[in-house]
Amino acid sequence: MSDVVEKAPPFAFLHGQAVIEKPEDLYIPPDALEIILETFEGPLDLLLYLIKRHKLDILELPILSITQQYVAYVELMTELRLELAGEYLVMAALLAQIKSRMLLPVHEELEEEEDPRAELVRRLQEYEQYKSAAENLDQLPRLERDILVARALVDESEVPVAETPEIALKELMLALADVMARAKTFEHHQITTESLSTRERMSQILHYLSENDGQCPFTKLFKIEEGRSGVVVTFIAMLELIKEQLINCLQVTPSSQIYLSLQLQE
């Protein structure tokens, strides 16, 4: 094939020099934070985000710059030790491959060949379609949240007691055996000292927030003296807290200060 591929093999980006500036101790690029907080639903989601952020149309798919940014974010996610699905790396390889094909001079005889981006563009469009379908679904009025069912009762004294299902003790044992058989697949969740310190940090953040009227600027929670690993632990603790809906993350405008606040209790 071409020597372009040899010069820039796809994974060189991941272990080679950084494409964007890596976060220096306390510094995490604001929009990197923003997008990581959004937690991507996969490589297509991340690509869509990058395209939208540059106010581009999917059909324009600027493969060179998008590839660079994609790889940079994948690297950042690795750096922050966010669980990275293998699909992200497959996509990085695919992008590099498309890029190398784009760089080839267009030969006369290749005229008939499809644009190397076509398949990816098609997938992006399809994913975007269902992504917004999911958003629409979330907007539909639904039980528990928007709709309350109206019920009336019957006078208990006159209604035969509803039959209740019968079960045997043996069934209970079998059910437990089923759970345990399935539980085997979860065995890779190992106890690590790291997750312990993350949970400890989570408590510290909650404590700090409650002592400070329930909110504070994002940067306040990092301690310079803890260095890089301290920053990572704090950051992951924040992500966990947001995921568990214990705190909120607010940013009024794209480049303004980010605030964290305690989730208001009912």
Partner 1 sequence: MCVMRRVSDEQLIELIEAAIFVSETPLSKKRLRETVLKEVAASGMRVDEAIRSISEHYQTRGVQLVEVGSGYRFQACKRLTPWLSNLWQEKAPKYSRATLETLALIAYRQPITRGEIEQVRGVSVSSNIMKSLQEREWIKVVGFKEVPGKPALYATTNQFLDYFSLSGLNMLPELPEQHEVKIEQMLSDPSVRESSE
159 binds partner 1 (CB under 8 A): yes
Which of 31, 34, 45, 79 is the binder for partner 1 (CB under 8 A)?
A: 45
17 binds partner 1 (CB under 8 A): no
254 binds partner 1 (CB under 8 A): no
DSSP 262: E
Task: Provide the minimum distance between the beta carbon of 256 and partner 1 in the complex, in angstroms, as a whole number.
Answer: 25
**Do 238 and 205 touch, CB atoms closer than 8 A?**
yes
Task: Provide the minimum distance between the beta carbon of 166 and partner 1 in the complex, in angstroms, as a whole number.
Answer: 7
Task: Provide the minimum distance between the beta carbon of 109 and partner 1 in the complex, in angstroms, as a whole number.
Answer: 15
Task: Provide the minimum distance between the beta carbon of 58 and partner 1 in the complex, in angstroms, as a whole number.
Answer: 7
Nearer to partner 1, 26 or 214 (CB): 214
Residue 226 half-sphere exposure toward CB, CA atoms < 13 A: 12
Write out the binding residues for partner 1, residues 208-227 only, by CB under 8 A. Answer: none
Report which of 251, 225, 257, 223 is spatially closest to residue 237, judged by C-alpha positions: 223
Task: Provide the minimum distance between the beta carbon of 169 and partner 1 in the complex, in angstroms, as a whole number.
Answer: 5
Task: Give the interface size with partner 1 as a residue count (CB under 8 A).
Answer: 91
CA distance 204 to 237: 10
> Positive or negative, the Cα torsion across 182, 183, 186, 187?
negative
Write out the binding residues for partner 1, residues 165-184 only, by CB under 8 A. Answer: 165-167, 169, 171-180, 182-183
CA distance 74 to 70: 6
How far is CA 70 from each of CA 15, 23, 201, rounded to the nearest angstrom? 14, 16, 30
Nearer to partner 1, 118 or 250 (CB): 118
164 binds partner 1 (CB under 8 A): yes
Write out the binding residues for partner 1, residues 56-75 only, by CB under 8 A. Answer: 58-60, 62-65
Write out the binding residues for partner 1, residues 83-122 only, by CB under 8 A. Answer: 85, 87, 91, 102-103, 106, 114-115, 117-118, 121-122
145 binds partner 1 (CB under 8 A): yes
Task: Provide the minimum distance between the beta carbon of 181 and partner 1 in the complex, in angstroms, as a whole number.
Answer: 10
3-state secondary structure of 161: coil
CA distance 233 to 197: 7
41 binds partner 1 (CB under 8 A): yes
133 binds partner 1 (CB under 8 A): yes
CA distance 208 to 221: 8
Which of 52, 53, 54, 142 is the binder for partner 1 (CB under 8 A)?
A: 142
Q: What are phi and psi of 35, to 5 degrees?
A: -75, -35
**Do 1 and 99 touch, CB atoms closer than 8 A?**
no
Task: Provide the minimum distance between the beta carbon of 190 and partner 1 in the complex, in angstroms, as a whole number.
Answer: 8
129 binds partner 1 (CB under 8 A): yes
Cβ partners under 8 Å of residue 160, min gap 6 = none
